[in-house]
């Protein structure tokens, strides 16, 4: 590894434009990829960016991110997928793709973690001014409109 770094350093110093192909032995291990992902998560990097970095490091295709979500009803603490026809998981997936929802456990329940993620989204988009705002963490009509595909200039989904 040190020989490779020395080679690259010398090549850059002398203006080399091409580098030798070391083949698959230069691929990162899953432990190294997981360490890089952990570092990105610790800095609060958006989930979609992390997915793209992970895909690039492993040579897999990145997962498509959702730039919008159309919700047909207001959502608040205690809502579940069974009571909302899956809207809670759709919201959580959207928030995850935007980097606000990083919870890795079961999804489909609108608890305090989801409410906090919604509140962070709302603050970032000027929908509430602070966590003391009475609308903080509640998906009402203004938040739904902001998250909606029509607001993003994309075709609406059913």
Q: How is the chain split into domains, by residue range?
A: 2-58, 81-147
pLDDT of 82:
94
CA dist list (Å): 103 to 45, 107, 113: 14, 8, 7
**Cβ(115)–Cβ(30) below 8 Å:** no
- Closest Cα partner for 110 from 71, 149, 145, 146? 71
pLDDT of 23:
47
Q: Which of 30-34, 97-101, 125-129 has the lowest mean pLDDT?
A: 30-34
Q: Is the model's pLDDT at 45 over the cut of 90?
A: no
């Amino acid at each position: 590894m040190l020989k490779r770094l020395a080679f690259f350093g010398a090549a850059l110093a002398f203006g080399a434009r091409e580098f030798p192909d070391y083949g698959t032995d230069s691929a990162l291990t899953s432990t190294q990829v997981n360490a890089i992902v952990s570092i990105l998560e610790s800095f609060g990097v958006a989930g979609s960016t992390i997915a793209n970095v992970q895909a690039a490091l492993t040579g897999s295709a990145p997962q498509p991110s959702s730039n919008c979500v159309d919700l047909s009803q207001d959502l608040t603490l205690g809502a579940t997928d069974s009571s909302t026809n899956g809207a809670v998981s759709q919201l959580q997936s959207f928030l995850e793709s935007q980097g606000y929802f990083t919870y890795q456990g079961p999804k489909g329940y609108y608890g305090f973690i989801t409410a906090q993620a919604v509140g962070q989204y709302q603050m970032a988009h000027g929908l509430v001014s602070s966590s003391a705002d009475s609308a903080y963490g509640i998906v009402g009509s203004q938040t739904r409109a902001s998250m909606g595909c029509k607001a993003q200039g994309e075709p609406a989904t059913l």
